Chain A
Amino acid sequence: MESAKPLIELVDLLAIAPMLAIFVLSLFPLMIKVFRGNRELNPYVTLFFALIGIGLATALTATLSGAKPRAYFNDAIVFDGFVPWASYLIYLVTAASLMMSIDHVTTRGRQFSEHVFLMMNSSVGMLVLVMANDLIVTFIGIEMMSLCLYILCAMSHEDTLSKEAAFKYFVLGSFASAIFLYGIALIYGTAGSTYLPDITQAIGPLLTTSRLFVVGLGLLILGFAFKVSIFPLHAWTPDVYHGAPTPVTAFMATAVKASTFIAFLRLFNSEGFLDADRFFTVLQWLAVLTMLVGNAAALFQDNLKRMLAYSSIAHSGYIMVGLIAGAFGDNYDAGATSVMFYLLSYTLMTLGTFALVAMLEKHENTVVSMSSIQGLARKYPVMALSLAILMLSLAGIPPTLGFFGKLFVFSAAIEQDMYWLVFWGVINSIISVYYYLYPVVKMYMSDEEPAEVMGNHMLTRFIVAATAILVVVMGIFSSPVLKAVQRSVVNLF
């Protein structure tokens, strides 16, 4: 027994310093509110605290990211190449969603400090998830992230859909958590460990010998699949994305996906999958069906939020293509790189589009439909152009970031000779062009008078414009971005 070693060392606390920073700063507004007799602070002060926390966390992550990858807390969490990349994405999304929240009618009300607290702690959960090196920690991360989200979904006061969304999300999410937990149990039973490196080691031999292990792994994947809305566990997505307050939707659609896919990538970093043909077949078809279901359903949506929800399902499918190429091919790095690049591009595009939707919602219970954006170009040329750029990027038109995301994902799959998968990816890209062009048609090509007036939301406007600019600039200069991703993938634990 090496009992001399203390349970927690100082370096361990240093590794989770970014989380602590966010957590502590998220407490400030809430505590002040309590001491002021439950009177809400000026929302901008609350936002200021939150942004300080995120800024602090960014600085801490930046200082930590130089070190060699190693494990902390008795190997329960790791800090390696994935972590800074995913953390920055999470910080970006959290900051942007909070800025949207302060402008948005459903979230800026009398519970803004609670809203900020929940959103920031959801992102702490995501950080745990990204760093987890043990399935139990992964589970804790997922739960922490999700529990905050369940409440956030319900935060709209008047909107009944919000309550429905929260309830649906909660019930189905708990179900998925149970599945995930059951998977962990079966894996622990067969592999004898919940430690991730042990499991990825064991995948090779156990996949062929132990049927229980296969079931356990399958359940684990299903648990993840629910969070990133992969077919057949995607059905909650449109309802929840639609019902939740739009800033929360933006947060869910981007940060949850980014962090869960990183956890997914960790699980799949195993040579054991190399000849797991059956797993490959199943996952391949899940990816294809995810893309098809998402794109086909998005074609028929009139509600912009629902359309974006289906589009986000489809994008999960594209990301799966890169994931499968990494896991089942002999070049894990190329697959992981393409996934991480795609996550960045997807995050920026989705954040921008939801931010624009948020601006069109003037009161709770607003439904932003295609007719809400007709003639937008005449009244708000900058916003319309930004949305057009984001839509074209989502459709993968060069030279935007979305094009390069698809290029890297497809090329990772072609490297592994997965032509069938890529073929479906292309077919789906073509289908998706139709519904991504439709908002552009409505904004630029309809003769009717502009239907909606946007609120004067400076911060949200800034997000829309900034994401549109980033999507173009990072697309044209995609090489430095790609290089950064490649460096971080090489630097794995």
Chain B
Amino acid sequence: MLLSLITFLPLVFALLLLVIPSSQKCFIRWSALVFTIIEFGLSLFMLSKFEKGTAALQFVERIPWVPELGITYFLGIDGISLWLVILTTFLTPVIVAGSWSAINTKVKGFHISLLILETAMLGSFLAMDAILFYVFFELSLVPMYFMVGIWGGANRIYATIKFFIFTMVGSLMMLLAIIYLMYATHDTMGTFSASVLDFYELKIPFVAGDFMNPQTLLFFAFSLAFAIKVPMFPLHTWLPDAHVEAPTPGSVILAGVMLKMGTYGFMRFVIPLFPEAAEYWAWLFLFLGTIGIIYGALVAMVQPDIKKLVAYSSVSHMGYVMIGLFALNMFGVTGALYQMLNHGISTGALFLLVGMIYERTHSREISQYGGLAKAMPIYSILFIIVTMSSIAVPMTNGFIGEFLILLGTWQANKIFGALAVTGVVLGAAYMLWMVKRVFFGPAGPLVKDTHHPLHDVTLREMLVMAPLVVLIFWMGLFPNHFLDWSKPSIDHLVKTRDSYNLTETK
């Protein structure tokens, strides 16, 4: 019952918010904050009950849903999904607190969307039935679509429809692949099943070098869905649009959690379900991932808009996650999982910080700033700490993740390893250059504007940033506090990739 409770509690809270009159903005914000903190506490309770030393699925719940097609309501958690669930429940209260002044219209609708989105995201990480996963995966589009479309910027309609349709293209192909696998279980086991655990047992025929064979086609159907979500070059074009138009909290949740649904899909479905195809086509993903790293960094470098710069840095960072995954070795996959969490925290923090300055000046143009360090010292310190994390300076979380990924990629393929390292340099270049132009040098027009003096971060904003900064250092200094929980699962995934299966704890 625990996982169901975690998944659907936000939905219940959303319904509770529904009865509060829309005019009580402050009350809605406070109740949403309390609700999401309760939810976070519940997930920590789950963490305390989580058994560390095993790769098996825990807290399993299984109820038939559409037994005619073998679809079950099947939830479970293991080392792969554990931290993503915690990340989601952790970021949501941060977002609620961070959107305190950013969202001023339709406050009630916004928080309801956010809570529904939380349910959908948690459901996707916890679902162990392919159709159930698909349901949550698609359902998460709807609140995000409203968030960008209602509270977004000037060009929001274009951005939100593009986001929706891009994701639909991939996920419908995945739906076909899931249906195919359901019939495959029917053929081998005699009964329909959409359970991922049963899918793992299937032996899907694979022909190396040929495109028209079941495993390769299924592999690409799933990969397309997740690669769009990640997003991997060249399917990333929806991301900058969505990020730029989305309101700050929308960007945080998009970068922080929703992109991870794609990389999580690779870890949960693509690699263990289609091991031969994943190994054979790994070069393609290493190649596109590396291009994504370098391309994302180069495009980020020339952005005049801070938010767009951060959006393109996401493309670059998610490229690291992709090459880590497709290095298909212990270091790479561990690094990828860690980098997923890091990216959630550091990019989420960057978007929050960009949002804070945007609220003050209503501009994100880099050229309008300069010398901000004098005007807003605490803000600048926070921004620079997060930048350090983003460019993977040692002692921050980013370093651990990128280092493991590069190590793994180097082991798997020296060329891509070397190319990926140049991405680190480029990453430092674009971030530090941006920091230099915004925070140092002569004061820009917006900073020296005496009619609208900039005030430094407020107490609320500090409280929003504090947990993120703490985590940046905590994860950078003691990675084992986090990785120990996931190690058995990652070990199991890497070592038994060709005959992957998952058991359930009793």
Candidate in A410, A419, A445, A483 with the most chain B CB atoms within 10 angstroms: A445
Instruction: List chain B residues, Cβ under 8 A from A392.
Output: 142
B176–A482 touching, CB < 8 Å: no
**Residue B235 CB within 8 A of the other chain:** no
Do residues B172 and A479 form an inter-chain contact, with CB atoms below 8 A?
no
Contact yes or no, B135 A444, CB < 8 A: no
Structural contact, A437 and B164, CB atoms closer than 8 A: yes
Among B160, B161, B172, the one with the most A-chain Cβ atoms within 10 Å of its Cβ is B172
Residues of A within 8 Å of B139, CB to CB, are 397-399
Q: Are A430 and B135 in contact (CB under 8 A)?
A: no
B141: interface (CB < 8 Å): yes
Q: Report the Cα distance A399→B139, complex, angstroms.
A: 7
What distance in Å separates the Cβ of A475 from its nearest Cβ neighbour in chain B?
Answer: 9
A433 is an interface residue with CB less than 8 A from chain B: yes
Task: Give every chain B residue within 8 A of A415 (Cβ-Cβ).
Answer: 183
Contact with B along A187-225 (1 / 0, CB 8 A): 000000000000000000000000000000000000000
Are B180 and A414 within 8 A (Cβ)? yes
Q: Cβ of B284 < 8 Å from any Cβ of A?
A: no
Q: How far is the CB of A398 from chain B (nearest CB, A)?
A: 4
Query: How would you classify the secondary structure of chain B's contact residues: helix, strand, loop or mixed?
Result: helix
Indicate if A422 sits at the interface (CB-CB under 8 A).
yes
Complex Cα–Cα for A441 and B139 (A): 17
Chain B nearest CB: distance from A5 CB in Å?
42
Q: Give every chain B residue within 8 A of A433 (Cβ-Cβ).
A: 164-165, 168
Which residues of the other chain, B, contact A407 by a CB distance below 8 angstroms? Answer: 69, 131, 175, 179
Binds A, one of B43-51, B149-157, B438-446, B468-476: B149-157
**When the two chains form their complex, are residues A414 and B68 in contact, meaning their CB atoms are under 8 A apart?**
no
Cross-interface CB contact of A479 among B66, B145, B179, cutoff 8 Å: B66
Are A444 and B182 in contact, with the CB atoms below 8 A?
no
Task: Please name all residues of chain A whose beta carbon is closer than 8 Å to the beta carbon of B156 when the two chains form the complex.
Answer: 445
Residues of A near B150 (CB, < 8 A) are 444-445
Whether A434 touches B161, Cβ cut-off 8 Å, given contacts A411-B69, A414-B180, A441-B149, is yes
Is residue B173 contacting chain A, with contact meaning CB distance below 8 A?
A: yes
Known: A397-B142, A437-B161, A478-B66. A430 touches B169 (CB 8 A): yes
Establish whether residues B172 and A444, one from each chain, have CB atoms under 8 Å apart when the complex forms.
Answer: no
| A-side interface residues, number (CB < 8 Å) | 29
Would you call B461 an interface residue if the criterion is a C-beta within 8 Å of the partner chain's C-beta atoms? no
CB-nearest residue of chain A to B186: A415
Report the minimum CB–CB distance from B145 to chain A (whole Å): 8
A371 interface residue per 8 A CB criterion:
no
Inter-subunit contact B146/A444 (CB<8 Å): yes
Cβ contacts B161-200/A at 8 Å (1 or 0 each): 1001100110011011001101100000000000000000
**Cβ of B22 to closest chain A Cβ, rounded Å:** 10
1/0 per residue, CB under 8 A from B, across A397-420: the answer is 111000110011011001100010
Q: A166 → chain B, closest Cβ, in Å?
A: 37
Q: Chain B 262-278 against A: per-residue CB contact (8 Å), 1 yes, 0 no?
A: 00000000000000000
**Are A441 and B161 touching (Cβ within 8 A)?**
yes
Known contacts A411-B179, A441-B149, A398 near B135 by CB under 8 Å: yes
What residue of chain A has the Cβ atom nearest to residue B66's Cβ? A479
Question: Once the chains bind, are A445 and B68 in contact (CB under 8 Å)?
Answer: no
Instruction: Write out the residue numbers on chain A whose beta carbons fall within 8 Å of the beta carbon of B134.
Output: 398
What is the CA–CA distance of A430 and B172 in the complex, to the nearest angstrom?
8
Q: Is A301 an interface residue (CB 8 A)?
A: no
Contacts known (A479-B65, A479-B67, A482-B66); A414 close to B161, Cβ less than 8 A = no
* Residue B138 CB within 8 A of the other chain: yes
- Rounded to whole angstroms, the CA-CA distance of A434 and B145 in the bound complex is 12
Q: Distance in Å from the Cβ of A437 to the closest Cβ of chain B?
A: 6
Encode contact with B along A2-26: 1 for CB under 8 Å, 0 otherwise.
Answer: 0000000000000000000000000
Q: Residue-by-residue, is A451-479 near B (CB-CB < 8 Å gives 1, otherwise 0)? A: 00000000000000000000000000011
**What separation, in Å, do the CA atoms of A397 and B136 have in the docked complex?**
10
Q: Give the residue name and chain of the B residue nearest to A414 (CB).
A: B179
CA distance A399 to B134 in the complex (A): 9
Contact of B173 among A426, A444, A483 (CB under 8 A): A426
**A364 CA / B241 CA spacing, docked (Å):** 43
CA distance A441 to B160 in the complex (A): 9
Task: Please measure, in the bound complex, the distance between the C-alpha atom of A463 and the C-alpha atom of B69, giving whole angstroms.
Answer: 31
Q: Does A429 belong to the interface (CB within 8 Å)?
A: yes
Q: Assuming A430-B165, A479-B68, A483-B68, is B176 touching A422 (CB within 8 A)?
A: yes
Chain A residues near B68: list those with CB within 8 A.
479, 482-483, 486
A407 to B182, CA, bound (A): 12
Report the bound CA distance from A40 to B68 in whole Å.
52
For A399, the chain B residues whose CB sits under 8 A away are: 135, 139
Q: Looking at the complex, which one of A411, A426, A482 makes contact with B182 (CB distance below 8 Å)?
A: A411
How far is the CB of B67 from the nearest CB of chain A, in Å?
A: 6
B172–A429 contact, CB under 8 A? Answer: yes
Across-interface contacts of B168 in A (CB, < 8 A): 429-430, 433
* Chain A nearest CB, measured from B191 CB (Å): 14
The reply to whether B164 and A398 form a contact with Cβ atoms under 8 Å apart is no
Contact assessment for A414 and B183 in the assembled complex, using a CB-CB cutoff below 8 Å: yes
Q: How far is the CA of A252 from the CA of B490 in the complex (A)?
A: 57
Compute how far the CA of A215 lies from the CA of B311 in the bound complex, rounded to whole angstroms: 61
Contact bitstring B462-503, A, C-beta under 8 A = 1, else 0: 000000000000000000000000000000000000000000
Question: Which single residue of chain A is at the shortest CB-CB distance from B136?
Answer: A398
- Complex CA gap A486/B173 in Å reads 27
A177 vs B135: C-alpha distance when bound (angstroms)? 43
In the assembled complex, the CB of B188 is this many whole angstroms from the nearest CB of chain A, namely 15
Query: Across the interface, which residues of B come within 8 angstroms of A430, CB to CB?
Result: 165, 168-169, 172
A426 near B172 with CB under 8 A, answer yes
A363 to B68, CA, bound (A): 48
Query: Which residue from chain B places its CB closest to the CB of A404 in the assembled complex?
Result: B66
Digitize B58-99: 1 where CB-to-A-CB distance is under 8 Å, 0 elsewhere.
000000111111000000000000000000000000000000
Give A396 Cβ to nearest chain B Cβ, in Å. Answer: 8
Instruction: Give the distance to chain A from B17, nearest Cβ to Cβ, in Å.
Output: 14
CB < 8 Å neighbour of B179 from A404, A410, A429, A482:
A410
Q: How far is the CB of A392 from chain B (nearest CB, A)?
A: 7
Judging by beta carbons under 8 Å apart, are A445 and B149 in contact?
yes
Report the minimal beta-carbon distance from B274 to chain A, rounded to whole angstroms: 18
Closest to B134 in A: A398
**In the A-B complex, the 5 residue pairs with the closest CB atoms:** A398-B135, A445-B149, A479-B66, A411-B179, A426-B172
15 further A-B pairs in the complex, CB-CB below 8 A; given A397-B138, A399-B139, A445-B150: A397-B139, A397-B141, A397-B142, A398-B135, A398-B139, A403-B135, A407-B179, A414-B179, A414-B180, A423-B176, A426-B172, A441-B160, A441-B161, A444-B146, A445-B149
List 18 contacting pairs A-B, 8 Å CB cutoff, sorted by A.
A397-B141, A403-B135, A411-B69, A411-B179, A411-B183, A414-B183, A422-B176, A426-B173, A426-B176, A430-B172, A433-B165, A433-B168, A441-B161, A444-B149, A445-B150, A479-B65, A482-B66, A486-B68
* B residues in contact (CB < 8 Å) with A: 64-69, 131, 134-135, 138-139, 141-142, 145-146, 149-150, 156-157, 160-161, 164-165, 168-169, 172-173, 175-176, 179-180, 182-183
